[in-house]
Amino acid sequence: MSSTFSNFIDFFQEFFQNIFATNHTKNTNFYFQFLIFVRVVPKVRVRCWFVVNKLCIILIVLFLFFLPSFVEAQTAGYSIERRLLQRLAWTGDDLTFRYEVVIEEAAEGKYEPHFQDFTHDTFIIVSLPPGKYRYRIIPHDFLDEPGESSSWANLEVLRLLPPEIEKVTPSFFYFEKDAAYTITVTGQNIAPEAEIFLRTLGGAPILPETASISADGASASLSFKTDQIQSGDYELVIRNPGSLETSKGTITFAARTDSLPDSPMTINISAALAPLFPIYGEAYSKNTVVFPGTAVRLGIYTSEISVLHTTGFEIAAGYYTFGKFNGSRTQHALIIELNLLARKELLNQKMSLCFRFGAGYTMPIAADEHPPLWETLNANTGVSFQWQIEKPFFLEIGIDYAHRFTSPHSGAIKPWIGIGINN
């Protein structure tokens, strides 16, 4: 091993003598330094190699650790400083060789120099950050002597902010002859020069007949006419200068079917299975989970008074079979209810949600004896889903809750399913 290493050193000694023969003193010094490095400090050389490796690994880890923060900072800075190009143009003449453009920026009640450049064209492209400016044009003749300057012209650059839509009301319309549909939009950063329009998927923009935007950019009011709209779903789009836009959907325009009456009133008549499930109180017979019952409902809706889409009232009568009390025969009762209705129609009147709230009265029927708690008032609330299978038939599924003013109070839930007809 030692002989091999000595041969290696002898080879490099001869190699350096041949190469550096022209500058003996300088090359000899370099040669001896090389020998000292190879022969005297091999262990130091190995240790230095491991130290350098460790330093490289530490530097790489630190670089990867700080890289995301650096990239994020650069991206954030770009979004804040993002600006458009502005084109300033003026009318020139044939006696002008070039134009001097001077732009000053308003700062603390006075104007300070911001930009100065020359151009041979009658326009110049600049990129100014948001702020207020003034500029003037100074013509220079063919001797490059300045001529009479133009008067100062004011210029304001607005900050680029994407619009935000928080709410669009209403979101559902029926077609009416010669009607105007008004849509109110609330949000933020709606520029005074913003374009606001309706759009279907892949369709052309539908611009409103009239549009007004509040001074603070927080709301807008749009008006459309019947001949601009077709039946279907639309999204509302707001596009600020600089092509910054946002959208919100869905706004539905629905055509009333021919089978609908000319009258704004709709009448529903239905029959349903409606079992009663006690949930608390002692007004019902003990050890009974459910009481069978049926119900008949008559509902009348009108679009003249609208809470969701249509509003109305309902009269419902239910016949129920209760358990035996004190060994008597099975007891029966009739429950009469009067409810207020608010209905929200879905999918062009094919489906709807109905919310109800009202009061009822329970009375016994042909009972030899019955608990004194039976004849009571109760408060009702419920919700149902209606599906118009085929005019005039519909299917309705719902669940109601009744609180009876007994002592102590009692209550029950009533899931039900029924079928009915409407006009």
412 and 275 share one domain: yes
Cα–Cα distance for residue pair 87/234, rounded to 1 Å = 36
Which residues have CB under 8 Å from 221's CB, separation 6+?
Answer: 182, 183, 184, 185, 211, 212
pLDDT attached to residue 260: 41
Nearest to 373, CA basis, from 382, 364, 360: 364
Q: Cβ(378)–Cβ(404) under 8 Å?
A: yes
pLDDT attached to residue 22: 45
Reported as a single tens digit per residue, the pLDDT across 3-15 is: 544 555 565 555 5
336 and 414 share one domain: yes
Q: Is residue 189 part of a domain?
A: yes
Cα–Cα distance for residue pair 227/181, rounded to 1 Å = 11
Which CATH number fits the domain that encloses residue 402? 2.40.160.20
Domain boundary among 105, 140, 157: 157
Order of strands across the sheet with 244-254? Answer: 172-174, 244-254, 232-240, 195-199
Domain boundary among 157, 181, 205: 157
143 and 15 share one domain: no
pLDDT attached to residue 247: 87
Q: Is residue 76 part of a domain?
A: no
Q: In a 10 Å sphere around its CB, with 0-12 CB exposed, 13-18 middle and 19+ buried, how is residue 396 labelled?
A: buried
pLDDT attached to residue 223: 92
The SS3 assignment for 135 reads strand
pLDDT attached to residue 90: 93
Q: Is residue 101 part of a domain?
A: yes
Reported as a single tens digit per residue, the pLDDT across 188-198 is: 999 888 999 99
285 and 392 share one domain: yes
372 and 415 share one domain: yes
144 and 176 share one domain: no
- Helix segments in 171-259, DSSP class H: none
Q: Is residue 334 part of a domain?
A: yes
Reported as a single tens digit per residue, the pLDDT across 160-216 is: 788 999 988 888 887 776 778 899 999 999 988 899 999 887 778 999 999 999 988
Number of domains in the chain: 4
Q: What is the DSSP letter of 226?
A: G
Order of strands across the sheet with 180-188? Answer: 164-169, 180-188, 219-225, 210-213
Q: Is residue 77 part of a domain?
A: no
pLDDT attached to residue 301: 80
CA-based torsion, 86, 90, 93, 96: positive or negative: negative
The SS3 assignment for 90 reads coil
369 and 275 share one domain: yes
Q: Is residue 72 part of a domain?
A: no
328 and 204 share one domain: no
Which CATH number fits the domain that encloses residue 247? 2.60.40.10
Q: Is residue 46 part of a domain?
A: no
Please report which helix (H) or strand (E) contains residue 24, including its range: helix 24-35
275 and 399 share one domain: yes
Q: Is residue 78 part of a domain?
A: no
Structural domain harbouring 238: 165-254
320 and 413 share one domain: yes
280 and 418 share one domain: yes
pLDDT attached to residue 160: 74
- Which region holds residue 108: left if phi is over 0, alpha if psi is between -120 and 50, else beta? left
Domain boundary among 123, 141, 157: 157
Cα–Cα distance for residue pair 23/245, rounded to 1 Å = 74
Low-confidence ranges of the chain (pLDDT < 50): 1-2, 4-5, 16, 19-20, 22-41, 43-44, 46, 48, 70-81, 258-262, 372-373
34 and 112 share one domain: no
